[in-house]
Amino acid sequence: MGWKPFKSYQEQQFVDAVSKPSLPMFRCEDSIIYSIITVNDNVPIGFISLKGIDWDSAKAELAIAICDNQYRSGGYGTEALTLGIDHAFNSLKLFSIYLSVFPSNTRAIRVYEKIGFKLVKRLEKSWTMPDGEKVDMLIMSIKKKAND
């Protein structure tokens, strides 16, 4: 399996990264984190989270990752994203879901667009990489359809 357990000092970093909002429009602290687990062999391969949940405005920021490389390009992310959005809209009664993505992550952008996400804006030089380089991020959103 390509996804290794965390060292003890990395656990809190991971929880913070998947539970605390990164987009400036989200100030709330509520978050929900789900594991992505294969159906056939019950292997944890990633996560999907709704963070910065603003219950009054019915919106949240979404983060998703298939952390184990051997399960990428297998449709797991698309399925988890589809199920997660359906859950957010129909069970949690949210209306808008936002996410951020690097412009270079074209595979993810294609999946997001296929599911119905639209580009909201480009935040230029808004993300600092580990080497200190500032890079752009795209903000995308999807809204619940009136007939859902």
Would you name the residues annotated as active-site residues? 112
For residues 88 and 136, what is the distance between their CA atoms, to the nearest angstrom?
27
Q: How many Å from the N-terminal Cα to the C-terminal Cα in the chain?
A: 38
3-state secondary structure of 9: helix
126 burial via Cβ count (<10 Å: 0-12, 13-18, 19+): middle
The answer to whether 120 touches 139, Cβ cutoff 8 Å, is yes
